[in-house]
Amino acid sequence: MSYQGKFRVWRGDDTGGALEDFTVEVNEGEVVLDIIHRLQATQAPDLAVRWNCKAGKCGSCSAEINGKPRLLCMTRMSTFTEDEVITVTPMRTFPVIRDLVTDVSFNYTKAREIPSFTPPKDLAPGEYRMQQVDVERSQEFRKCIECFLCQNTCHVIRDHEENKEAFAGPRFLMRVAELEMHPLDTADRVDSAQESHGLGLCNITKCCSEVCPEHIHITDNALIPMKERVADRKYDPIVWLGNKLFRRS
Amino acid sequence: MPEVERHSFDVLVIGAGGAGLRAAIEAREHGMRTAVLCKSLFGKAHTVMAEGGIAAAMGNVNSSDSWQVHFRDTMRGGKFLNNWRMAELHAQEAPQRVWELETYGALFDRTKDGKISQRNFGGHEYPRLAHVGDRTGLELIRTLQQKIVSLQQEDFAEFGHYEERLRVFQEFTVTDLVVEEGRIAGAFGYWRESGRFVLFEAPAVILATGGIGKSFKVTSNSWEYTGDGHALALRAGAKLINMEFIQFHPTGMVWPPSVKGILVTESVRGDGGVLRNTENKRFMFDYIPEVFKDKYADNEEEADRWYTDQANNRRPPELLPRDEVARAINSEVKAGRGSPHGGVFLDVSTRLPAEEIRRRLPSMHHQFKELADVDITAQPMEVGPTCHYVMGGVEVDPDTAASSVNGLFACGEVSGGMHGSNRLGGNSLSDLLVFGRRAGEGAASYVRGLSERPSVSDEAVARASETALAPFQAEGGENPYTLHMELQQSMNDLVGIIRRESEMQEALERLEKLKERAQSLSVEGHRQFNPGWHLALDLRNMLLVSECVARAALLRTESRGGHTRDDAPAMSADWRRKLLVCSLDGTRVNVEEQAQIPIRKDLLDLFDRAELEKYLTPEELS
């Protein structure tokens, strides 16, 4: 059942680094994170990796396995052949701290830029009434475990540092959609999606949806509907004319 | 004097799970400059693993529910060892805490009339758990995280700075609390990223560090659960109670080995799942204890009718409190009726339509599919007990969450008393919110009452720094990973789900040796994000807390809740009146008996006398 697996793991820090070769025991049923832990325990005690729940629920152990953005804890060794060399590298979009650990503070900065849930003022706690069918749309987006793999893979920022300032990324554009679709949120989020959070930069290549370990339909259910709402308001000629004639402010 | 970064706050919250975040929100809303210090990234705490729901007697699904019924269930679940005042506050305040989450933006599953839906769970008389599918913990942590962000946005609007009154220090580990002249003066720790030291000066510290599961081999707990708060409290001079009571969740995954211990939510049973052995028998009917005979069905027909008609049928025995179910599974496996990988079968596939399973238990479906190649809509799961929760923790004042050390507070899993000898499922998330809020309020009111702030001596900083750097000084010493594995194996084998005197004696001997070897741990590399060093420091806490568990377990010569003794199988009414209190005397753990405060009369009156006779001594009933 056991075999000696071949691994190449990126080791280094913000000043540089390189892939390091390891041969390590692999047992039946294991995931890549198990192998990384075995490396720590036997060959490289100071190998840096982030992880928490080891069950795909916390979104800490994001990295790239053979170039694909994945959770280390949800990538089973049985998906590789025994003679395959498995390359593990840190997420590319964020600055490296050490080995497989990256500085994901970009995401926390973006989270703060999105105005929070704004409930109706006259509704006391306990009085909230919503139908299941109405909450389900936002519930899908709240399944997000914030692994930031969608942010990592999105080509708008993956190799374009210059876009980071203007673009919230799929995770946080989805947050805007989640609040917009919340049955009781009173804030208007359509204009700011385009103007403050960079929705227009997304050209719906669906890479984010593809890498989402929670299988959230980020593009189809969050980003495209938001784009439609923006288009309805911004580019619909009748709405445009109405806005010109009856300025809201 | 080593070089350290310094910060000053009114209130420090250690831990960013449900309890810590709720405490921080409360302290900040009382005007305190508050810092949250957490080992992981913000939003990753172990609370995300909670699946089933939050217990709160809102009565949305069955209007007969009330705080009194919830209180009764909680006391029964804990076998009456609970701190009754905590159980009372918890049952009374849980609904408000859940409703409040909706104002922060939480989206619970709904009833037909648009209220928060509630599901059945073990030990709860009525459907009581507010939930979001089977990812309620994630909803809770994200909601609180987003509330904190919204408070930071308010500060930005007012002061032009997000972190004016509430700041999160993530991937930061506290190694020591600073106590000066008998009261809290601050905390000392390191950044994971750089390994550099930080001193926080603050008159109040709220511990919200969670549990101790990483001292056991098979556990549902993550790497963070190393008993830090328990150990910090002991070293600061506070007391721990009920440390002998550890909850082994009955249903953890058993296969493949690398996921052994990962939780399978109790909602599987709440929603109709049943436990079977290899003879295809629903064995739980054989394990209904005397004290619960009138509440649980003794045949399959009645048990199955209960799901649709709760008024006229007794509950299925799969929904007994967790300690009972875990022991039953353990017995079945020992008797040779276990599944191929040493568990039993948990089957929902023959009980609900596939579509319904995917809707109600999406993350279980996902987890088994991805990690074990099992489709739970078509096949049974293999499950077995896993170390899940510690009922014991810091002894606190129920109303303010204050410990016996001035300025030190504790809430959530790191506090003790609320759950007695066994926690009911769903009572953890509500506990976090109810006592998180009370701890935040308690700390704020303590700080407001101070006439002067304590200051931290240079000596204390030098000492803390020296302790934290010790693993780098020794060369050729023990590998912390090896030591950790030996500790986990010892606790699992010798102080696990079924205990006996000789084994616990042996555990204590082994712990002594491990403690000695831990003096000469050595780590490679440097201080920047070095997991070997982090583990070496965490081990100090795990060893201390494990000793508390083993010593208390050895002394309690009865079986109750999360403490089962082969050599003392009965529950004793005399022992119910006694708590075992751990304190630290130098490097030695002391355990002393302490009398329980008698249950207030109006609360006792909520129970039938016949039921009380099962738990209380004749003297208490007269």
Nearest CA in chain B to A175: B146
Backbone angles phi, psi at B388, to 5 degrees: -125, -40
Out of B138, B222, B531, whose CB is closest to A52?
Answer: B222
Out of A45, A97, A125, whose CB is closest to B532?
Answer: A45
Query: Rounded distance, CA A150 to CA A147, Å?
Result: 8
Whose tokens are 């030291």? That residue is B197
Report how far apart, in Å, the C-alpha atoms of B12 and of each of A140, B9, B115, B163 are: 34, 7, 36, 14
Whether residue A46 lies within 8 A of chain B, CB to CB, comes out as: yes
- Asked if residue A95 lies in contact with residue A12, where contact means CB atoms within 8 angstroms, the answer is no
Query: Rounded distance, CA A10 to CA A17, Å?
Result: 7
- Determine whether the interchain pair A54/B259 forms a contact, defined as Cβ–Cβ distance below 8 Å: yes
CA B42 from centre of chain:
19
Distance from CA of A239 to the nearest CA of B (A): 31
Query: Rounded distance, CA A218 to CA A209, Å?
Result: 5
Query: Rounded distance, CA B184 to CA B178, Å?
Result: 6
Residues B93-144 have pLDDT tens digits of: 999 999 999 999 999 999 999 999 999 999 999 999 999 998 999 999 999 9
Distance from CA of A233 to the nearest CA of B (A): 26
Backbone dihedral region of A154: left (phi > 0), alpha (psi from -120 to 50 degrees) or beta? beta
Q: What is the largest CA-CA distance in chain A?
A: 75
Whether residue A67 lies within 8 A of chain B, CB to CB, comes out as: no
pLDDT category, B2, cuts 50, 70, 90?
A: low
Out of A28, A112, A182, whose CB is closest to B153?
Answer: A112
Residue B509: its H or E element: helix B501-518
pLDDT at residue number B529: 87
- Determine whether the interchain pair B107/A115 forms a contact, defined as Cβ–Cβ distance below 8 Å: no
Task: Tell me which of B128, B249, B327, B576 is the catalytic residue.
Answer: B249
Whether residue B285 lies within 8 A of chain A, CB to CB, comes out as: no
In B, which residues are within 8 Å of A187 by CB distance? Answer: none
The residues, ordered by sequence, that sit 6+ positions from B299 with a Cβ below 8 Å of its Cβ are B285
Write out the two tokens for B459: 């000596």
- Determine whether the interchain pair A76/B533 forms a contact, defined as Cβ–Cβ distance below 8 Å: no
Using the predicted structure, report yes or no on whether residue B27 has a pLDDT greater than 90. Answer: yes
The residues, ordered by sequence, that sit 6+ positions from A57 with a Cβ below 8 Å of its Cβ are A145, B48, B49, B135, B137, B138, B363
Query: Rounded distance, CA B459 to CA A207, Å?
Result: 55
Name which of B118, B373, B529 to mutate to probe chain A: the one with the most chain A Cβ atoms within 10 A of its Cβ. B529
Q: Which of B255-259, B488-492, B518-522 has the lowest mean pLDDT?
A: B255-259
Report how far apart, in Å, the C-alpha atoms of A78 and of each of A2, B57, B241 are: 12, 46, 45
* Chain A, chain B: beta-carbon pairs less than 8 Å apart: 173
Write out the two tokens for B255: 């296969």
Using the predicted structure, report yes or no on whether residue B209 has a pLDDT greater than 80. Answer: yes
Distance from CA of A193 to the nearest CA of B (A): 18
For B479-499, b where at least 16 C-beta lie within 10 A, e where not — what string? bbbebbeebbebbbebbbbbb
In A, which residues are within 8 Å of B150 by CB distance? Answer: 116-117
Whether residue A64 lies within 8 A of chain B, CB to CB, comes out as: no
Residue B546: its H or E element: helix B531-555
Write out the two tokens for B169: 């220090």
- Determine whether the interchain pair A125/B41 forms a contact, defined as Cβ–Cβ distance below 8 Å: no
From chain B residues 97-126, the ones with a CB under 8 A of any chain A CB are 99-100, 102-105, 107-110, 113-115, 117
Distance from CA of B223 to the nearest CA of A (A): 6
Distance from CA of B160 to the nearest CA of A (A): 13
Using the predicted structure, report yes or no on whether residue B574 has a pLDDT greater than 80. Answer: yes
Average pLDDT over residues B209-237: 96
From chain A residues 176-235, the ones with a CB under 8 A of any chain B CB are 179, 182, 185
Backbone dihedral region of B408: left (phi > 0), alpha (psi from -120 to 50 degrees) or beta? beta
Helix (H, G, I), strand (E, B) or coil at A21: strand
Whether residue B355 lies within 8 A of chain A, CB to CB, comes out as: no
CA B127 from centre of chain:
22
In percent, how much of chain B has pLDDT > 90? 90
Write out the two tokens for A15: 């000043």
- Determine whether the interchain pair B525/A45 forms a contact, defined as Cβ–Cβ distance below 8 Å: yes
Query: Rounded distance, CA A225 to CA A193, Å?
Result: 12
Q: Name which of B233, B246, B554 is nearest B403 in CA terms.
A: B233
Residues A113-158 have pLDDT tens digits of: 999 999 999 999 999 999 999 999 999 999 999 999 999 999 999 9
Residue type, B509: E
Average pLDDT over residues B222-231: 95
* Cα radius of gyration rounded to whole Å, chain B: 23
In A, which residues are within 8 Å of B48 by CB distance? Answer: 53, 57-58, 145
Task: Tell me which of B167, B269, B423, B565 is the catalytic residue.
Answer: B269
In A, which residues are within 8 Å of B252 by CB distance? Answer: none
pLDDT at residue number A174: 98
Q: Name which of B191, B139, B176, B121 is nearest B426 in CA terms.
A: B121
Helix (H, G, I), strand (E, B) or coil at A74: helix
Nearest CA in chain A to B17: A58
Using the predicted structure, report yes or no on whether residue B347 has a pLDDT greater than 90. Answer: yes
pLDDT at residue number B476: 82
- Whether the upstream peptide bond of residue B569 has omega within 30° of 0, thus cis, is no
pLDDT at residue number B61: 96
Average pLDDT over residues B594-609: 97
Helix (H, G, I), strand (E, B) or coil at B118: strand
In B, which residues are within 8 Å of A13 by CB distance? Answer: 528
For chain B, count helices (H), then strands (E): 19, 20
Average pLDDT over residues B477-505: 95
Name which of B47, B49, B110, B386 to mutate to probe chain A: the one with the most chain A Cβ atoms within 10 A of its Cβ. B110
Name which of A117, A127, A182, A185 to mutate to probe chain B: the one with the most chain B Cβ atoms within 10 A of its Cβ. A117
- Residue stretches of chain A with pLDDT short of 70: 247-249
B278 burial level (CB within 10 Å; 0-12, 13-18, 19+): middle
State yes or no: is B135 an active-site residue: no
- Determine whether the interchain pair B367/A56 forms a contact, defined as Cβ–Cβ distance below 8 Å: yes
Distance from CA of B264 to the nearest CA of A (A): 11
Query: Rounded distance, CA B268 to CA B347, Å?
Result: 8
Whose tokens are 């706050």? That residue is B9
Distance from CA of B321 to the nearest CA of A (A): 25
Q: Name which of A130, A64, A133, A53 is nearest B49 in CA terms.
A: A53
Residues B370-414 have pLDDT tens digits of: 889 999 999 999 999 999 999 999 999 999 999 999 999 999 999
Whose tokens are 């209380």? That residue is B616
In A, which residues are within 8 Å of B471 by CB distance? Answer: none
Using the predicted structure, report yes or no on whether residue B210 has a pLDDT greater than 90. Answer: yes
Distance from the first to the final alpha carbon of chain B: 63
Helix (H, G, I), strand (E, B) or coil at B481: helix
Spell out the long-range contacts of B157-165 with Cβ–Cβ below 8 A and sequence spacing 24 or more: B162/A112, B164/B33, B165/B28, B165/B31, B165/B32, B165/B33, B165/B34
Query: Rounded distance, CA A201 to CA A198, Å?
Result: 6
From chain B residues 128-187, the ones with a CB under 8 A of any chain A CB are 132-133, 135, 137-139, 142, 146-147, 149-150, 152-153, 156, 162
- Asked if residue A19 lies in contact with residue A90, where contact means CB atoms within 8 angstroms, the answer is no
Q: At what angle do helices A105-113 and B136-159 cross, to 10 degrees?
A: 70
- Determine whether the interchain pair A51/B223 forms a contact, defined as Cβ–Cβ distance below 8 Å: yes
Out of A76, A125, A131, whose CB is closest to B110?
Answer: A131
- Asked if residue B548 lies in contact with residue B393, where contact means CB atoms within 8 angstroms, the answer is no
The residues, ordered by sequence, that sit 6+ positions from B222 with a Cβ below 8 Å of its Cβ are A51, A52, A53, A54, A58, B46, B49, B214
Residues B441-470 have pLDDT tens digits of: 999 999 999 999 999 999 999 999 999 999
State yes or no: is B269 an active-site residue: yes
Average pLDDT over residues B249-260: 90
Whether residue A98 lies within 8 A of chain B, CB to CB, comes out as: yes
Query: Rounded distance, CA B389 to CA B378, Å?
Result: 31
Report how far apart, in Å, the C-alpha atoms of B207 and of each of A40, B37, B211, B403, B593 are: 30, 10, 11, 10, 24
Query: Rounded distance, CA B362 to CA A160, Å?
Result: 36
pLDDT at residue number B331: 93
Mean pLDDT for chain B? 95
Using the predicted structure, report yes or no on whether residue B283 has a pLDDT greater than 70. Answer: yes
Distance from the first to the final alpha carbon of chain A: 70
In percent, how much of chain B has pLDDT > 70? 100
The residues, ordered by sequence, that sit 6+ positions from A3 with a Cβ below 8 Å of its Cβ are A25, A26, A82
In B, which residues are within 8 Å of A148 by CB distance? Answer: none
- Asked if residue B364 lies in contact with residue B406, where contact means CB atoms within 8 angstroms, the answer is no
Query: Rounded distance, CA A21 to CA A243, Å?
Result: 63
Query: Rounded distance, CA A231 to CA A191, Å?
Result: 10
Out of B109, B193, B257, whose CB is closest to A27?
Answer: B257
pLDDT at residue number A248: 56
Write out the two tokens for B194: 């750089």
